[in-house]
Every structure is written in structure tokens, then in C-alpha cells.
Amino acid sequence: MSWDDCDRPAAITRSLLGYGLLAGPFYLVVGLVQALTRDGYDLLRHDLSLLANGPLGWIQVVNLVLSGLMTIAAAVGVRRALRGRPGGTWGSALIVGYGVGLVAAGAFTADPMNGFPAGTPAGPPAAPTPHGTLHFVAGGVGFLCLIAATFVLARHFAPGWSWYSRATGVAFLAGFAGIATGSDNPGVVLGFWVAVVLGWTWLAVLSLRLYRETPDPNRPRPAAEVTADHQPQGSA
């Protein structure tokens, strides 16, 4: 089937939503590989943002930026899929906010803390740097956008999805509130890890749901539609 014969808007929408399925696994796999191979990093004491420090910190910076860009692409797909439906505009805009927050968090690295990288004193930084402060603000705004998106979009689906979406928002808020204290308590750090996984899973489930609702772009198109695509503008 040629490009002219397929439903191009549906194909573009599905392609954009595909990034919502890729972003989370990409972020988590790249982050976990680093977490298991970087000297001094402890999964139960350090959040992934700290990996942006040290000689190999650029890997986590790239991870944040690429994951953020994929999230923004997925948000555009969400908007296209929900066009004309209540909440679609605001919900997708909030997901864009989450993606922008990830990109900004990559641009402004977190301050070393809690003993990472090796040689860093225990506990939070004594004097936060400007880029460390901006990292915290960018991450905080992004996370709040994601939490808000789970509630905005929860209203527009079946009850089962609605409860799942709201529960994800509540869990993410709890995890973020804990890690925002700067604590390296294993329970707090593990709670935030769970929240991050739940957040990415929510985006993947949403993207998959809307992907399936979007018409198959390879279905045969009526001849009248194909002819209209080739008709010169302004013709009868």
C-alpha cells in the first residue's frame, strides 16, 4: 500500500503515540545500567538524577533530554488522538510540561549529595548551586505536571481507567514528596523509584490505549478520499 493510500493523519498520530511506549523503558533501562555499573551508586540511597554527576554524567544528561523529547512527542500524539474531546488539550499540555521538565532537568544537573559521586559528604548539599536549584525546580514542575495530567485525563475514560489514573497520580505525589526532602532513607528512595516506574507505566498505558483507538492507517481508503488528496486547491 502506498503512502497516498493510507490514512496519513492516523499514521502520524500512531507514530507519535509510539514514543509514549518507548520513553519509559528507555529512561529506566539506561538509568539502571548506569546505577549497576557506576562506582559508589546505591539504588537504595540515590535517585537517578545524581548520575548526571561525575565523568560519565553526560550519559544521564542525554537520557533525561531524549526521554523528555520522546515524552513531548507522545503528548502531541495524545492531543491528536483526543482532538475535540474534553480534557484532551489540557491533558496533553500537562504531559508536554512533564517532558519539558525532563529536558530542563538534564540541562541543569543535580548537586552531588548523599555520598555520590564518591567522596561527596553525606546528606544534602551544604550550599545548593544555581544549576542544582534549577534542576530541582525543573524536576518538581515536571512531576507536578504529570500528576495533574493523571487527574485531568482520568475523567474522560471508563471507571477502571479513571481509578487507575488517579491512583497513579496519588502514588507519584507521595513518592515525590518523600524524595523532595533530600532524605537518603532507603524507604523514601525506594518509594520514589516505585513512583517513577508507575509514572512511566501510566504514560505507556495511555499511549497504548489511544494507539489502539486510532484507526488503522493501512485500512483501504475510499477512492473519493484519495482523489480529494490529489485535487488542486481551489478546484471544485
- Whose cell is 485525563? That residue is 153
Strand partners, 113: 116
Residue 100: its pLDDT value, please?
Answer: 98
Query: So where are the chain's domains?
Result: 3-219
pLDDT band at residue 225 using 50, 70 and 90 as cut-offs: very low
**For 1-31, how does the pLDDT look when each residue is reduced to its tens digit (9 = 90+)?**
444 455 788 889 999 999 999 999 999 999 9
**For 58-67, how does the pLDDT look when each residue is reduced to its tens digit (9 = 90+)?**
999 999 999 9
Distance of CA 229 to the CA centre of its chain: 35
This prediction's pTM: 0.87
Tell me the HSE value of 75 on the side-chain side, using a 13 A CA sphere: 24
Cα–Cα–Cα angle for 1, 82, 106, nearest 5°? 95
